[in-house]
Amino acid sequence: MAEPLIIAIPKGRILSEALPMLARVGIEPEAAFGDENSRALKFGTNRPDVSIIRVRAFDVATFVAHGAAQLGIVGSDVLMEFDYSELYAPVDLGIGHCRLSIAEPAAMAEGDDPSTWSHVRVATKYPNVTRRHFEARGVQAECVKLNGAMELAPSLGLSSRIVDLVSSGKTLKENGLVEVEVIAEVSSRLIVNRAAFKTRAAEIVPLVEGFREAVGAARAA
């Protein structure tokens, strides 16, 4: 029997929305998978041919790109940042909706006009996306790479602006920041390792089609 297919799922905001999607495809992880406090990283499922790993969102793409996992669920923000050629993203799952935005202190925004920017210093965990966005506008961007707590950067003088994911905007508001520009709308995608898609097509193609059908059913409901 072939080794089980491994699906990489991100911790955090996408996890709760991914579980119903997996159920529609007929994959039910063991109970501990849904427990965010569990320190386990690899889980069995109701299918002996499918296992799941739970890792950081940015690491999902790395595990799948390098073939350590054959499939994964990841936000389009991660795909934009890393642009892995080894990945195939066949299905927009329609979950994990948010946006990648530029934000700055509310007091600054009152008299600010983004169209006049020529140089910006930005704190973000998306330096590649950020630079490309500003370069397309002819703006020089100095990016300060952070992996979290972006909202602190302006108040502590690390940068005047941030680029980060925004959903409700509550975290920005609580830290005195406002959105001033949306770089991209974000949703979660099913990703597949390209080499595995060729060598294990008999196993992977039905799963991909199952996810595609599940998305269609969810939209029709």
Interval 79-123: pLDDT, tens: 999 888 899 999 999 999 999 999 999 999 998 898 899 999 999
Task: Give percent of the chain with pLDDT exceeding 90.
Answer: 81
The structure tokens 């427990």 sit at 35
19 with 126, same domain? no
27 with 9, same domain? yes
106 with 47, same domain? no
9 with 85, same domain? yes
65 with 78, same domain? yes
122 with 57, same domain? no
Rounded CA separation 97/165 (Å): 10
- pLDDT band at 182; cut points 50, 70, 90: very high
Task: Give percent of the chain with pLDDT exceeding 70.
Answer: 98
- Please state the pTM of the whole predicted model: 0.90
Q: Give the per-residue pLDDT at 139.
A: 95
9 with 60, same domain? yes
Buried b (16+ CB within 10 A) or exposed e, 47-65: eeebbbbbbebbbbbbbbb
26 with 86, same domain? yes
CA 89, 98, 152: angle at the middle one, nearest 5? 120
Name the region of 149 (left: φ>0; alpha: ψ -120 to 50; beta: rest).
left
Q: Give the per-residue pLDDT at 38.
A: 76
55 with 85, same domain? yes
Q: What is the pLDDT of residues 35-61, one digit of tens each?
A: 777 788 999 999 999 999 999 989 999
Q: Find the CATH number of the domain harbouring 69.
A: 3.40.190.10
For the cut 90, the answer to whether the pLDDT of residue 221 exceeds it is no
For the cut 70, the answer to whether the pLDDT of residue 128 exceeds it is yes
For the cut 70, the answer to whether the pLDDT of residue 16 exceeds it is yes
Q: Please tell me the total count of domains within the chain.
A: 2
Rounded CA separation 19/24 (Å): 9
91 with 76, same domain? yes
81 with 12, same domain? yes
Mean pLDDT of 130-156: 95
Range of the domain at 180: 98-185
104 with 92, same domain? no
- pLDDT band at 2; cut points 50, 70, 90: confident
Pair 88, 201: CB distance under 8 Å: no
The mean of the pLDDT values for the chain is 93
